Chains A and B, each alone.
Chain A
Amino acid sequence: MKSPGKVAAFAVAALAGVGLLTGCSSGSSDANGKVAITVASLIPGSSPDAFKAFNQHIKDFEKANPDILVKPVEYQWTGPTFSAQLAAGTLPDVFNVPFTDSKSLANAGQLADITSNVKQLSYYDKFNKSLLQVAENDKGDIFGIPYGPYAYGLSYNRALFTKAGLDPNKPPTTWDEVRADAKTISDKLGIAGFMEFTSGNTGGWGLTEMTYARGGRMETTSGSKTTVTADNPQTVDALKFLQQMRWTDNSLGSNFLLDWSGMNQYFGSGQTAMFPSGSDVLTSLVQQDGVKASDYGLALIPTSGANSGVLSGGNVAVVSVGASAAEKAASVKWIDSYYMQKLLDKSAAVTDAKSLVANKQPVGVPQLPIFDKAQLDTSLGWIDSYINVPKSNVAPFQDGIFTQTIIPEPAKHTQELYGALDTVVQAVLTDKNADIPTLLKGVDTQIQALIDADAAKK
Chain B
Amino acid sequence: MTATTAIPAHRRRKRTPMTWLRGGGLWNLLFLLPMLIVFGVFSWGPIVESVVMSVQKTNFVTTSFVGIDNFVAVFNDPQLATAVTNTAWFALLALIFGYPLPLIVAVLMSEVRRRRGLFSALAYLPVVVPPVVAALLWKRFFDASPHGVFNTIIGWVGIPPQPWIQSASSAMPSIVLEATWAAAGGTIIIYLAALTSVAPELYDAAEVDGAGIWQKIWHVTLPQLRGVLLVTFILQIIGTAQVFLEPFLITGGGPVNSTLTILQLIYRYAFTNSIGGDYGKATALSIMLALVLAAFSFVYFRVTRAWSEN
Q: CB–CB under 8 A between A and B in the complex? A: yes
Interface of A toward B, CB cutoff 8 Å: 79-84, 86-87, 97, 101, 104-105, 108-110, 190, 198-201, 253-257, 271, 415-416, 422-423, 426-427, 429-431, 442, 446
Knowing A83-B277, A108-B59, A416-B273, say if A254 contacts B252 (CB, 8 Å).
no
Which of A110, A256, A415, A442 is close to B273, meaning CB atoms less than 8 Å apart?
A415
Choose, from B108-116, B138-146, B222-230, the stretch at the interface.
B138-146
Q: Which of A84, A257, A427, A442 has the most CB of B within 10 A?
A: A257
| CB-nearest residue of chain A to B76 | A449
Asked if residues B251 and A257 are in contact (CB atoms below 8 Å), the reply is: yes
B163 within 8 A of A: yes
Instruction: Give the number of residue pairs across the A-B interface with Cβ within 8 Å.
Output: 89
Q: Interface residues, chain B, CB within 8 Å of chain A?
A: 59-61, 78, 143-146, 148, 161, 163, 165-168, 251-252, 254-257, 271-277
**A79 CA to B209 CA, complexed, in Å:** 69
Residues of B within 8 A of A104 (CB): 275
Assess whether B274 is in contact with A430, with CB atoms less than 8 Å apart: no
CB <8 Å contact, A79 and B272: yes
C-alpha gap A152/B292 in the complex (Å)? 48
Residue contacts A-B, CB under 8 angstroms, 13 given: A81-B272, A83-B275, A84-B271, A200-B252, A254-B145, A254-B166, A255-B166, A257-B255, A415-B273, A415-B275, A429-B255, A431-B167, A446-B78
Main secondary structure of the interface of B (DSSP, over half): loop
Q: Given that A86-B276, A257-B165 are contacting pairs, would A427 and B271 also be in contact in the complex, using a CB cutoff of 8 Å? A: no
Secondary structure of the A side of the interface?
Answer: helix
**Do residues B146 and A101 form an inter-chain contact, with CB atoms below 8 A?**
no
Q: Are B59 and A426 in contact (CB under 8 A)?
A: no
- Residues from chain A with a CB closer than 8 A to the CB of B274 are 79-80, 82-83, 97, 101, 201, 415
The distance in angstroms between the C-alpha atoms of A427 and B256, with both chains bound, is 5
- Cα distance A416–B60 in the bound complex, in angstroms: 21
Contact A426/B256 with A83-B271, A101-B275 known, Cβ cut-off 8 Å: yes
Alpha-carbon distance A279/B148, docked complex (angstroms): 31
Residues of A within 8 A of B166 (CB): 254-257, 430
A247 vs chain B, min Cβ distance (A): 12
Question: Which residues on B sit within 8 Å (CB–CB) of A422?
Answer: 254
Known pairs A80-B274, A87-B277, A101-B274 / 7 extra A-B pairs, C-beta < 8 Å:
A81-B272, A87-B276, A97-B274, A101-B275, A201-B274, A430-B167, A431-B256
Q: How far is the CA of A110 from the CA of B276 in the complex (A)?
A: 10
A430 touches B256 (CB 8 A): yes
Measured CA separation A423–B256 after assembly (Å): 5
Interfacial chain A residues near B165, Cβ < 8 Å? 257
List of B residues within 8 angstroms of A82 by Cβ: 274
Across the interface, which residues of B come within 8 angstroms of A201, CB to CB? 274
Tell me the complex Cα distance, A254–B162, Å: 10
**B78 to chain A: which residues have CB within 8 Å?**
442, 446
Looking across the interface, which residue of chain B has its beta carbon closest to that of A88?
Answer: B271
Q: Which 8 A-B pairs have the closest CB atoms?
A: A254-B144, A80-B272, A430-B255, A426-B255, A254-B145, A84-B271, A427-B256, A104-B275
Contact status of A423 and B257, CB under 8 A, knowing A254-B144, A256-B166: yes
Cβ–Cβ < 8 Å partners of A110 in chain B: 276
Q: List A contacts of B59 (CB < 8 A).
A: 108
- Residue in contact with B255 in the complex, picked from A84, A87, A101, A256, CB distance below 8 Å: A256
Contacts of B145 in A (CB 8 A): 253-255, 271
State the CA gap A414–B148 with chains docked (Å): 35
Contacts of A199 in B (CB 8 A): 252, 254
When C-beta atoms are compared, the residue in chain A nearest to B272 turns out to be A80
Distance (whole angstroms) from the CB of B166 to the closest CB of chain A:
5
Residues of A within 8 A of B143 (CB): 254-255
For B251, list chain A residues within 8 Å (CB). Answer: 257
Query: Taking the nearest CB of chain A, how far is it from the CB of B86, in angstroms?
Result: 14
B272 CB contact (under 8 Å) in A83, A190, A429? A83
Residues of A within 8 A of B276 (CB): 83, 86-87, 108, 110
Q: Write the nearest CB–CB distance from B274 to chain A, whole angstroms.
A: 5
Please name all residues of chain B whose beta carbon is closer than 8 Å to the beta carbon of A446 when the two chains form the complex: 78
Residues of A within 8 A of B60 (CB): 87
Most buried by B among A190, A201, A256: A256
